Chains A and B, each alone.
Chain A
């Protein structure tokens, strides 16, 4: 039941905040903050019971489970479940949700009620995505998070917001349609084999089907999730959506929404179709590697700070794709680390850029430079997250990329070698970011207010998170170890079979 509460609290909180917002803007901010904090407290309380120590019951796959009938005729139920992977994603979502409310505190002045309604519904939708264990329910939540995001970009975005919002919507809708078709195909294939109509994840696992059929259905899921991730060549919606979205929108977009794509690959694409995924690995890894390099180059070519950070996201998600399809413990552990650490580092970068935009009303690096002098705390924070982004050892992102590359090295040496060049590319764009905004002469004579107390608190939260994940990532690794090991096992027999044939 507690899982239902996790989703309900932001839903209800959103409605309340929406109604209050028209009369009292400040109250609506506080309501949103309290709702998310309450949700986070609930989640932490529950998850810490299971992840408190290093060891926990390995016999149970799900820490918590909830099942209620919904549309029994079609075999659809409200089935929620929480394991190590979803625990971490839930915590990340709520953390960035709270940050997002904080980051919008002074930015969002118009229609604040409706803004917070949308924002909380996105959070609820994402939580649902991370918890759903019924494919129909999953699809339901998948759609729930898109519509409010569309409004968020379309209403509170920057100059070119309509174009970006429509583009975002079309990309995700089209890929969502593919996923729906794949879900239906899978359900019908399952019924043809077993005679039961069900959308339940645990029953659909291990469905027997012809390899060709499996490949096609898998492709539907794969495309839906890689559009979201996004992977090359499905990424063009992201720079526009990121750039035009308000700060909180960019934070949740980069921090959480992209992670639903990675989560989908880990939770559905690979476990439901292990053999098809295995034989598809070379293609997926290639796309991942191209994404890493291409997006690193694209990030360097941007002059708009938000576009730059958006492309770095694409590059980092390339590592995720590469890691998932390496199918070993190192790489998969690295993938989960990367999902969390990128959520923090990119979220923080968007927050900084948003805070900068509030002060100087431009995102164009051509109009900046030398801001370190006038806002040193800004500069230090920018430096920190630029270093996180380029994978400086000691911060979480390094552990993530290191593990992914160690894992992928065992799967493919050429792919890893090229992907490693992405580390050089990341250096180039990160330094370009610092040079453009903070170093060099202050030609325009900017004098801006340095980070205020609210912003410093939010930034500090990010910094602590990344340092902690960099020097002591073991709790995260422990939390996902069972999930990762079962994924690894799932894909292993296939290798043996391939070797035999």
Chain B
């Protein structure tokens, strides 16, 4: 059964190739069958493998399928090989499962687009690359997937390429993430040089035996890899590309920029967790990056008026939670939040997509209003997603995953009160901006007419994801609530080297309940605040916006706290400026000067060719005189 593993990435690849070469001839339904079908079958196989893992797990809870040797230089011998363990299995399930639902949704959403087959070709290529990323047995192969998803992200953000703004957003995404990727590549060079391999399991073993805890090498490697992770996952300081990435079609935002690709950084850190445990300073850096990002993105989300940008900032913020979890060593909690987030964020994007579809490409929440009554199913599913994002207690999956992170941020040996505080404040902001969006877009008076209602291909994925967003959390319950740990137990073999899980038990249920109550109060308080400010008494905000200072503050938050402007001033503008002034290549000017001197000498010597014998005779005489004087005087 496990031997079917290679088919999981191979099917979407085959789908991509079919669509690339024959997409135009297949017709729309053919394209839809190939595009969604290939991912669907992959999801089924992934489900089968999950079943195998649960019923008769392979020895050591991992399975490697080597396909061929990629390179063999010196002692460095990376293979094209797939590695399946609980961590990569969970990722695979999410990528194929949520991926399939989003493909299905796209069948309806993109139906009227002229580039239907190009869309599905790119989506299939993305799923292939993402699966290579998560299933790679070594970091070099992971990098293939890593850059591959970057390419697909670029292609799909710029899918509607006729609008220069979309092209710009696509380029920005590619270039900014590439900055992080370059740091990550340097980390690879370091690993090859120091440990002689990029095979993940060998790497972790060798790192654990050869590097002392706290060693400089471990720290350098961990920070370089973190560079790649913050780029891909839209974390500080490389988060600026993600809000702009919303230029792509909404299913793209759901799949790539919410559920899967942007969590690649989380996966990378979890995959190489041993290196991080050897570098406590790097762990602290991860946690701080996560905490700062979740706060900054939460603030920016308040000022957005585009429904997709609100969701984009909330994605950045939620991945911040995952980083926070990784940074305090809560590996499986990070992956748990990754999973629930994939469900509810994909749901939110798809539901938002249904609204945008129904309102004929209207994305401004202030122009929506009252959709609650016009699109009841969309409203209910969106509400389920929003509740999960806002971590409404007990009935949503987001509650359980976020609670696990907050608890460990406080109690873990790498934890800190301030980290917990950041997470708790973030919970307040999250529920406030989420319900701001809900109240403004779905309540009040309708402002835009509903053009067409989404059909079942678009509604079914919403229902499926709404179901997952609710029950997905029940597999991991807090200690005092029956202490179910199906997820953590399943993940445990992937984090076998990690110590510190046992430490949790020392804290009593009292602390756990106390922390939870505070977080719950903050979360519900956020909703209440949103209700008052955006539904019950909107005049408070209107009054506040009259002052100049508040308007400036709003503009500052709206711009994502000015990072774009900063980077433009520091990097983009100088680069473009040099390119502009040096277009003619200053080095070439040097040679042109040389050539000009040659021409000048040519001209001057040419003047001596007068054709008069007198001149020539005088020249000869002068020459002789000089020669003779030289001979005489030396």
Which of A's residues lie within 8 Å of B, judged by CB? 232-233, 235-236, 239, 297-298, 300-302, 329-330, 333, 370, 372-373, 376, 380, 383, 387, 392-394, 398-399, 402-403, 405-406, 409-410, 416-417, 420-421, 423-424, 427-428, 431, 435, 438-442, 471-474, 477
Contacts and interface: CB of A to CB of B under 8 A. Distances in A.
Contacts of A439: 158, 161, 167
B583 A403 contact: no
Given A329-B74, A380-B20, A297 B162 contact: no
A298 B591 CA distance: 17
Contacts, number: 123
A399 B71 contact: yes
Interface stretch (B26-34, B185-193, B478-486): B185-193
Given A235-B587, A370-B162, A402-B140, A431 B171 contact: yes
Given A233-B590, A370-B161, 16 more contacts: A297-B579, A298-B579, A301-B582, A301-B583, A330-B76, A387-B151, A394-B148, A403-B73, A406-B189, A417-B186, A423-B181, A424-B178, A431-B174, A438-B161, A440-B161, A441-B162
Interface in B181-201: 181-182, 185-186, 188-190, 192-193
Report, as a range, how many residues of chain B touch the other chain.
35 or more
Q: Determine which residue in B140, B164, B167, B175 has the highest number of CB atoms from chain A within 10 A of its CB, and name it.
A: B167
21 contacts: A233-B587, A239-B585, A298-B585, A329-B74, A370-B161, A380-B20, A387-B151, A393-B140, A393-B146, A403-B71, A405-B189, A406-B188, A416-B186, A416-B189, A427-B178, A428-B575, A439-B161, A441-B163, A441-B164, A442-B162, A471-B80
B548 interface: no
Contacts of A233: 587, 590
Contacts of B163: 441
A373 B178 contact: no
B600 interface: no
B244 interface: no
A236 B590 CA distance: 10
B4 to A, nearest CB: 21
Interface of B: 20, 68-74, 76, 80, 118, 140, 143-144, 146-148, 151, 154-155, 158, 161-164, 167, 170-171, 174-175, 178-179, 181-182, 185-186, 188-190, 192-193, 575, 578-580, 582-583, 585, 587-588, 590-591
Given A423-B178, A431-B175, A394 B164 contact: no
A173 to B, nearest CB: 14
A163 B76 CA distance: 48
A283 B178 CA distance: 28
B71 A301 contact: no
Q: Determine which residue in B76, B175, B178 has the highest number of CB atoms from chain A within 10 A of its CB, and name it.
A: B178
Contact of A409 (B154, B158, B190, B575): B190
B574 to A, nearest CB: 11
Nearest to B598: A170
Contacts of A471: 70, 80
Contact of A474 (B69, B148, B591): B69
Q: Determine which residue in B80, B578, B580, B590 has the highest number of CB atoms from chain A within 10 A of its CB, and name it.
A: B578
Main SS at interface, chain A = helix
Contacts of B192: 406, 409
Contacts of B185: 402, 405, 420, 423
A17 B386 CA distance: 74
Contacts of A239: 585, 588
A206 to B, nearest CB: 26
Contact of A372 (B148, B161, B190): B161
B73 A427 contact: no
Contacts of B148: 392-394
Contact of A393 (B72, B74, B143): B143
A421 to B, nearest CB: 7
B144 A394 contact: yes
A189 B73 CA distance: 38
B623 to A, nearest CB: 28
B587 to A, nearest CB: 5
Contacts of B151: 387, 392
Contacts of B74: 329-330
A89 B147 CA distance: 30
B494 to A, nearest CB: 24
B143 to A, nearest CB: 5
Contact of A297 (B143, B182, B578): B578
Given A297-B578, A301-B580, A424-B179, A232 B164 contact: no
A469 to B, nearest CB: 11
A473 B146 CA distance: 20
Contacts of B162: 370, 373, 440-442
Nearest to B579: A301
A333 B73 contact: yes
A409 B193 contact: yes
Given A329-B73, A393-B148, A441-B162, A472 B175 contact: no
Contacts of A236: 585, 587-588, 591
Contacts of B583: 301-302
